[in-house]
Amino acid sequence: MEELDYLAGERKRAEFDVDAMKIVWAGSRHAFEVSDRMSRLVASDPVFRKDNRPMLSRKDLFKNTLHKAAHAWKRIIELRLSEEEAVALRHYVDEPAFTDLHWGMFVPSIKGQGTDEQQKKWLPLAYKMQIIGCYAQTELGHGSNVQGLETTATFDPDTDEFIINSPTLSSSKWWPGGLGKVSTHTVAYARLIVDGKEHGVHGFIVQLRSLDDHQPLPGITVADIGMKFGNGAYNTMDNGVLRFDHVRIPRDQMLMRVLQVTREGKVVQSNVPRQLVYGTMVFVRKSIVSDASTALSRAVCIATRYSAVRRQFGSQNGGPETQVIDYKTQQNRLFPLLASAYAFRFVGEWLSWLYIDVTQRLQAGDFSTLPEAHACTAGLKSVTTSVTTDGIEECRKLCGGHGYLCSSGLPELFAVYAPTCTYEGDNVVLLLQACVARFLMKTVSQLGSGKQPVGTTAYMARADHLMHCHCSAQRAEDWLKPNVILEAFEARSLRMSVACAQKLSKFSDPEEGFAELAAYLAEASVAHCQLIIVSKFIEKLQQDIPGEGVKKQLEILCNIYALALLHKHQGDFLSTGSISSKQVSLANDQLRSLYTQVRPNAIALVDAFNYTDHYLGSILGRYDGNVYPKLYEEALKDPLNDSVVPDGYREYIRPLLKQQLRSARL
Amino acid sequence: MEELDYLAGERKRAEFDVDAMKIVWAGSRHAFEVSDRMSRLVASDPVFRKDNRPMLSRKDLFKNTLHKAAHAWKRIIELRLSEEEAVALRHYVDEPAFTDLHWGMFVPSIKGQGTDEQQKKWLPLAYKMQIIGCYAQTELGHGSNVQGLETTATFDPDTDEFIINSPTLSSSKWWPGGLGKVSTHTVAYARLIVDGKEHGVHGFIVQLRSLDDHQPLPGITVADIGMKFGNGAYNTMDNGVLRFDHVRIPRDQMLMRVLQVTREGKVVQSNVPRQLVYGTMVFVRKSIVSDASTALSRAVCIATRYSAVRRQFGSQNGGPETQVIDYKTQQNRLFPLLASAYAFRFVGEWLSWLYIDVTQRLQAGDFSTLPEAHACTAGLKSVTTSVTTDGIEECRKLCGGHGYLCSSGLPELFAVYAPTCTYEGDNVVLLLQACVARFLMKTVSQLGSGKQPVGTTAYMARADHLMHCHCSAQRAEDWLKPNVILEAFEARSLRMSVACAQKLSKFSDPEEGFAELAAYLAEASVAHCQLIIVSKFIEKLQQDIPGEGVKKQLEILCNIYALALLHKHQGDFLSTGSISSKQVSLANDQLRSLYTQVRPNAIALVDAFNYTDHYLGSILGRYDGNVYPKLYEEALKDPLNDSVVPDGYREYIRPLLKQQLRSARL
């Protein structure tokens, strides 16, 4: 059989070294090799098949996930995979499962919040999966506000135990993944009560199910919370509900690295700084930013390839119609998303560096950069996941009608990604109460005080200049200069923050002002985060990047990212006087010309993600572009096509056609 | 049992007559009564239950839909319902089914394109459902571009038949609802070929399945195209694929109202004007705009009620937390959507008037208003459905984590609504090639010529003023004046169109200019459509509206609609110089104050939609606000909760925990 590649012509047009770009995307040659090897391993193993997911009932779907998780573990052991390889393998299995929570939340919680002794006891069990754990924080009535949790952990000095209890319906733990059907243990968060006095919310290791027969232990009520958005998607996960009826656990199952309760019932702060907790949040959120670039790049890969396959309109004299990727409207929606995928990749890379930096400083007792790092990761989490969610849906629309079929892969990608905007901090809350806006307002208020703004807010030190500067762009080409772009984004961000601070200062009660101005504070926060992403992309381009034409392509993408943002948010730039209407128009002209430059490289730029057809899970995004015959094949697999005449014909269609409805019982 | 109403306090705060608002929303007392009666009829009938949809397998789901369709037909006959009542009943059954296509596309196609004789033959059969029809236009390789269809209908003078054929894979009919498993007949669109010559694309009535045993007729290959986005949602519909292998049909099954093929093989244009077809498009698109207001209002109703139930943060001294509807960020996202639902309602009402007007003119041979009506309905279809799709998803996010549960109703509402952006004209295509942009450019180009712009473009006659006027708003309150708002929207829209026209004029090939400037043309089209919606809302308020406080509330909503748009698109207003930065800021101040005014009325404003809990299909949107106990109850119904220990425990979890994986076969 000869191999067809309908996109071969597109691939030949690329003006850069795709293999070199693959290394840039992966982060290093080593990272590329691990990811390449693991993705192929998964793709070639029939147990990891996932194209049938949308057709499976909830029970079959879930059982299938259990099978995959067990099989993955077996392969990890058989092949003696390293931790890095095991993580990659689980990633390419590409199916939410209890193992995500076990490895991603349960183990890190014990490592981060457990004493050395507790780590020594619990981690080996968890590492071998002799116990399976989850993370029980949110409750039916309480989400983002951890301090509002109602579950209690009351110390009983008589027995040296804690009594874990769910006092109300709304205190039921609700949402934890892996809880509903699988986990044997959990870290449960509860209000610590000792001698009638409250001591805030802390984590407790609680066993949920018997290790013999998997039955819930006495006092534990546990179940799955039911179907969630989409076909397949997160329905492979047993998100659960959990109620405690005065469940007793030994005192040493409270995670006591920061706060300890002694045998005598004394509550003692340890000498481990509380700020360590924020280190974990920086870690989790940096991973979410990396995942955003991955999810967005998958959607973009599908939409880009299909846009080159699909033809519509523009036929002249009976010739073939125009490839939809050649339409400016398509480019105008697609290419900024392609650029965003790369931009998020590089800001994620930088966050990994930031996490290492913060960790090293924490270990040296230096907490000075922590608030800025915390605000910045929270903001980037919010901005990148919102753009990614909307971007996946936009890619689906860019595929026209066929994007609506499950076999396009896009519905499931959207449904499985959507909760990211809510979990680990609701995106809107993150921009405001929690982090970014407050940090920005504080920074602005201290500008005159001699205290130097640090990290990503360092530009604010140049407030005198940025408040009054005029953008120097006079021709469209000027918008290719990194310093012109940077200054425009800096001026816009600073001026929006300063405007908010001025409005805030008119309120006698700052909290009231914060509440009233929330929408504008959120916009100022977004502007700041977009500046970070633009500036980290520009910094990346200042590095040495090997490979023919690679840097040139990245420069084009960087400019598209910045100028498309400028177009979308021109209201901000204009209302702050950061640039003029004429300059907006020049930037738009430049943007159109950049689209023309990226067009011949588009397919190669998504090939650089190095995704297997298995991982993409999309007929429309197939590497070989052989879309239509495969869509047809896939359709015939639907259970509804098991018979030509459908179930229900005799009962419901025939009586209709034969006008027997009056007498028929329905 | 006493009845609880957790939202009773909210309802008491309303400052207007909710019953009177219900009449306004429904359009008339009569329309309210029909819709109220039919929605209750459906809600009280257990056959029409829909809460189990997400848990059903595709086959069971589809069979259930057949059951409901047959039952609905039975009830319609038993109760001798009028056509209006039958339409309402089917609407409240709220489940996509083959009947949508039978009544919504098959019957209207025959009415619109069939000769009197053809109507006399086919319509009685269709009205009694002795045949069931669908509408086969789009093909696997061809969507919006009808002229690109490949299916052929070749006249055979020897037998007086047409031969319908699918010459390629990409010519397979793909997507038609009702085709996959149910329809006995279809109107198929194909290129008419007579004596070797092509005569464009026309409709042909083709029988697909035997009326005896429902088997496909010879030469017909038909199947379902497989799973689509979401749980339940459009998976109740048998969207199908259809291939013709030289299928012969009698000559009189070509729909010949406009073009006829005679026994001798002559192709004759009838004296019925071709423009009649556009009348049908106006009808279909006006219905889509009304449906947009319905879909958006459902999502807004759910999010508004739940925002009043949900509390988060802001607890002081252990008191209850703050209702999330009291947060400005929530109001800033929710209230513009509430206002949009009302705005779309009224523009839909106006479109119904427009349709009647156009129809009467067509019958009188007056085609002068048709291009404008066609452009305007296409544009409004595009704008309202895009906002609605995004708005439903925004409402889901406004419900936090719980919005992700199927029991919130929002995932299915989104998934079932999403294709609206693509079908009946892709939204982006509609703004450009098809209609709005071209019409605007033509209107602008004729401004100096003495030809008066008509209908919704009439304001362009005041170009001299609008190109140079300065917005008069000097205080926040000025933004409550309808003429201030209108002029700002008119100036923005006109100036954007004129700017596009100027850019276009620089291209020697106008088509190349159109392609290159597509993104800006689309933005100018959106600006024009938003102006139409704003102006129709303002016109509505100039009517007499009975009911205490009703008009006042609508005025508030109208202002929120306009000022929220102004905020979102401030870049347009600023870059065209239609208003100043200072005026943007004043408009924002006014907007915040409007949010405060609408807040106490929010629950009553969504009660005015008069939706039953059955129709809403959402635990979060329950009328009584009793959310948490019901979420818990609903969760326990998931099939995964049939057993405490899940299927697959013995095979996949136990071996993991017991470290038996090395030996176990997985």
What's the pLDDT tens digit per position in A437-486?
999 999 999 998 888 898 999 999 999 999 999 999 999 999 999 999 99
pLDDT, position B663: 45
> Which of the residues of B are catalytic?
424
Query: Which pLDDT score is estimated for A646?
Result: 96
Size of interface A-B (CB pairs under 8 A): 392
Kindly report the CATH number that applies to the domain delimited by B23-95: 1.10.540.10
Fold of A107-272: Butyryl-CoA Dehydrogenase, subunit A; domain 2 (2.40.110)
Q: Name the residue in chain A with its Cα closest to that of B593.
A: A516
**Of residues A296, A286, A284, the one with CA closest to residue A609:** A296
User: Using CB atoms within 10 A of its CB, is residue A368 exposed (0-12), middle (13-18) or buried (19+)?
Assistant: exposed
- Residues A615-632 have pLDDT tens digits of 999 999 999 999 999 999
Low-confidence ranges of chain B (pLDDT < 70): 1-3, 315-318, 432-434, 661-666
How much is the pLDDT for A427?
76
Residue of chain A nearest B138, judged by CA positions: A401
What is the CATH topology of the domain spanning B277-607? Butyryl-CoA Dehydrogenase, subunit A; domain 3 (1.20.140)
User: How far apart (Å, rounded) are the C-alpha atoms in residues B497 and A487?
Assistant: 31
Q: Closest approach of chain A CAs to the CA of B434, in angstroms?
A: 11
pLDDT bucket at A663, cuts 50 / 70 / 90: very low
In tens, the pLDDT along A495-506 reads 999 999 999 999
Q: Which two tokens stand for residue A624?
A: 């070989």
Tokens of A365: 């007792």
**Whether B106 contacts B187, CB under 8 Å:** yes
**Residues of A with catalytic roles:** 424
Q: Is the CB of A628 less than 8 angstroms away from the CB of B140?
A: yes
| Residues A93-132: tens digit of each pLDDT | 999 999 999 999 999 999 989 999 999 999 999 999 999 9
- The CATH architecture of the domain made up of B132-272 is Beta Barrel (2.40)
Chain B residues in contact with A432 (beta carbon < 8 A)? 329
Distance from the Cα of residue B207 to its chain's centroid: 30
Out of A183-197, A316-330, B484-498, B531-545, pick the least confident: A316-330
Name the minimum distance, in Å, from the CA of B39 to any CA of chain A: 20
What is the C-alpha separation between A244 and A261, in angstroms, rounded?
A: 21
In total, chain B counts a number of residues equal to: 666
What residues of B are in contact with residue A180 (Cβ under 8 Å)?
Answer: 640
**A55, B54: Cβ pair inside 8 Å?**
no
Which pLDDT score, from 0 to 100, does residue B3 have?
65
B393/A393 touch (CB, cutoff 8 Å), yes or no: yes
Is B9 within 8 Å of B625 (Cβ atoms)? no
Residue A71 has pLDDT above 60, yes or no: yes
Nearest to B328 by CA among A512, A496, A493: A512
CATH 1.10.540.10 placement within chain B: 23-95
Residue keyed to tokens 């059951």? B67
pLDDT of residue A434: 54
- Mean of pLDDT values over A534-544: 97
Q: Model confidence over A208-217: pLDDT tens digits? A: 999 999 999 9
Pick from B414, B632, B647 the residue to mutate for testing the A interface (most A CBs within 10 Å).
Answer: B632
Is residue A328 within 8 A of residue A25, CB to CB? The reply is: no
Please check whether residue B172 is in contact with residue B203, taking contact to mean a CB–CB distance below 8 angstroms.
no
Gyration radius of chain B's alpha carbons: 27
Yes or no, beta carbons of A230 and B229 under 8 Å apart: yes
Q: Measured between beta carbons, which residues in chain B are less than 8 angstroms from residue A648?
A: 62-63, 66-67
Judge whether B660 and B648 are in contact, CB under 8 Å.
no
Q: Using CA of residue A411, residue A413, residue A416, residue A417, what is the dihedral sign?
A: negative
Residue A177 is labelled as binding a ligand: yes
Maximal C-alpha separation, chain A: 92
Give the residue from chain B lying closest to A418, CA to CA: B404
Q: How far is B45 from chain A (nearest CA, A)?
A: 12
Alpha-carbon distances, residue A573 vs A226, A650, B180, B582, B585 (angstroms): 46, 65, 52, 14, 14
- CATH 2.40.110.10 positions along chain A are 107-272
Class of domain A277-455+475-607: mainly alpha
Asked if B26 contacts B610 with a C-beta cutoff of 8 angstroms, the reply is yes
- State percent of chain A over pLDDT 70: 97
Which residues belong to CATH 1.20.140.10 in chain B?
277-607
Q: Is pLDDT of A664 > 70?
A: no
Query: For position B260, what pLDDT does the model report?
Result: 96
Say whether A664 and B170 touch across the interface (CB within 8 A): no
Environment class of A448 (CB within 10 Å of its CB; exposed 0-12, middle 13-18, buried 19+): exposed
User: How far are the Cα atoms of A45, B282, B376, B456 from residue B371, in angstroms, in the given order?
Assistant: 58, 10, 8, 11
Confidence of residue A665 (pLDDT cuts 50, 70, 90): very low
A377 in a labelled binding site = no
Pure H helices in A114-206 = 116-127
**Nearest of A397, A325, A305, A302 to residue B426 by alpha carbon:** A397
The residue behind tokens 């293999």 is: A19
Q: Which residue of A has its CA nearest to B237?
A: A640
The span from the CA of A614 to the CA of A626, in Å, is 15
| Alpha-carbon gap: A433 to the closest alpha carbon of chain B (Å) | 10
| pLDDT top residue among A571 and A660 | A571
B361 touches B428 (CB < 8 A): no
B571 contact partners, CB below 8 Å, separation of at least 6: A569, A570, A571, A572, A573, A574, A584
pLDDT value of residue A362: 87
> In this model, does residue A2 exceed pLDDT 60?
no
Helix or strand holding residue B249 (H, E)? strand B247-250
